[in-house]
Amino acid sequence: MDIVELLILLVGSLAVTGFARAKGLPAPLLVTAVALAVSFVPGLPEIEIDSEVILTVVLPPLLYSAALDVSWQSFRQSIKQIRRLGVFLVIITALAVGLAAYLIIPDMDWPAAILLGAVVAPPDAVSAASIGRKLGLPRRVMTVLSGESLINDAASLTLVRVFTLIAAGTSLTIWQDLGIFALAIGVGFAVGIVLGVAVHWIRMRINDPVVETIMSILLPFVAYVLAEHLSGSGVIAVVTAGLYIGYNSPKEGYATRLQERPLWTSMDVILEGFVFALIGLQLNTVVQDLVESDRSLGQTLTAAAVVLVVVVLVRPLFVFESYVRNRFHGRWVRPLRVRLSRGHPSLRWIRGSAEPKLNWRELTVVSWTGMRGVVTLAAAVAVVADPVEIKAQDTIFIIAFVVTVGTLLLQGLTLPFVIRALKVQDPREGEEDVRSEMRLNQRTTEAAIALLERRRSAWSEQYGPQAVDSVVNRLKARLERQAETFRRDAEEEEDEERNAPMRLRGAQIQDIRRELLDRRREIVLEEREKGNLDEEVMRRVLVTLDAEELAMDSAQASRSRS
């Protein structure tokens, strides 16, 4: 792909993405659909995918950006569910697909079949998360989906690494297989935590938002490449570094946070559009490969359809098996454990730990978010590009492509309907966040007032009592007015909760606030046009208004992503 083709692809995918966002459509699906149609345009040059570019240039920033926005507390509370989906479901899917492929594809041996299973095993949560945020999925569901997407890529790519070696003729014992897994996880975690700690330590001391932001941009690439060079998992390294930086970012300067958020959001949009456009543009190439190959077109497509069905069905079966087992465990096993631990103090360890539980509606949504994407495509290309001959290499790529497009169109297009039909949205969650925000604002304001009184005498000795008293009294009066406003807003919110038959949702209140901000900006510009306002004053006022709107957007994004 030359520079002109790359620019055309980027501009085209961005244009389709912008249209989709403006119309409220799922951008990944629309980009894929448009690219599929464009792939059959006569004379279109063939665009080849470089797996190294996707894995080294595209995947790290996407993973890092997602990790920055994950709530570590929610991630830790849901770690059992995340681990089941991100690791065990990947293994189960690889084995199920491998068995099906081995039985129906004549020229595929067992290692190549498992390799195919590993390639198509990891779901890509990009489109699912974007749909979920738009439709207001509960936070606990978004946490599980986001957490799964952070670790399932590592499990899948490690499986691909192991079975690529086996399919190429390398003999590995079960202990060597486990050693590769352990090395990948251990090295990846170590690299990620060391780089995360080092970058955070530096950013806490330099106080330069531009340099700090550049360090954040470079971190995922350095973490991925270094971990892979040391035979570790680059995905684990990037995710670990992102979780650490995201958790500690409130300790760093506000200017860096304000600068980084729109930067990573923009990178997500352009990279996601680029990858899904690549997926769609490969259709013409795949069809030509099928026509020119010696294999039966019908046989290959039949195998791809069977694998697609297996991929779609394994996830809900696995998810609801855990649900049924947990229901039995909660009804019979856990009460028995509690009784035993009460009667025998030495047996308290058998109680087990609590974690947020998903109901059957939420689990249905989780089971239907199995769309494949970036990692599946990159892994399939890597298998084809491997210089070592592997049985049915082209078949693996074709089936992986069909599964990727099939899941995007089948599950991606129907997921909004599933969410709405099951009424999984939780609008009260956002309302409770608003009330928590009010209470927090009131507490911080009251703490600031108390600090003014405690420090008044020290400041008076340092700067002079007369000047300090004037400033402190003015600041205290301002803070007291803010505290009273927060208190009154909280009381009105509670009264409305008790008495109003209908309440505005958080998004509706945000719309009203935005209209007010827009009107205030109009007044600022009108005063500037009349010559009544200096440009510098205007910019300072606009920064204040922009910061208020940014706070609204950030709070809304944090609630929906966590």
> Assign residue 482 a region: left if phi > 0, alpha if psi is -120 to 50, beta otherwise?
alpha
**Is 80 exceeded by the pLDDT of residue 489?**
no
Give exposure, 283-307, as e/b (b: 16+ Cβ within 10 Å).
bbbbeebbeeeebeeeebeebbebb
Q: What is the enclosing helix (H) or strand (E) of 149?
A: helix 139-167
Around Cβ 214, how many Cβ atoms within 10 Å?
A: 11
Ranges 25-39, 40-54, 427-441, most confident = 25-39
- Residue-wise pLDDT for 297-345, tens only, equals 678 888 999 999 999 999 999 988 866 776 655 555 455 555 555 555 4
Q: What is residue 463's predicted lDDT score, i.e. its pLDDT? A: 79
Question: SS3 sequence, 284-330?
Answer: HHHHHHHHHCCCCHHHHHHHHHHHHHHHHHHHHHHHHHHHHHHHHHH
Q: What is residue 167's predicted lDDT score, i.e. its pLDDT? A: 77
Give the helix ranges, DSSP H, for 423-505: 427-463, 465-499
**Is 70 exceeded by the pLDDT of residue 23?**
yes
The three-point CA angle 503-509-511 to 5° equals: 135
**DSSP per-residue letters across 318-372:** HHHHHHHHHHHIIIIIHHHHHHHHHH-GGGGGGG----PPP-HHHHHHHHT----
- Residue-wise pLDDT for 512-558, tens only, equals 777 877 888 888 888 878 877 776 677 777 777 777 777 777 666 55
- Residue-wise pLDDT for 389-420, tens only, equals 677 777 888 898 889 888 988 888 888 888 88
Among 243-247, 272-276, 462-466, the range scoring the smallest mean pLDDT is 462-466
Around Cβ 523, how many Cβ atoms within 10 Å?
A: 11
**Is 60 exceeded by the pLDDT of residue 290?**
yes
pTM of the model: 0.77
* Virtual torsion, Cα 167, 168, 174, 177, nearest 10 deg: -100
Q: What is the enclosing helix (H) or strand (E) of 30?
A: helix 27-38
Q: What is residue 383's predicted lDDT score, i.e. its pLDDT? A: 79
From 211, 235, 104, 107, select the one nearest 160 (Cα to Cα): 235
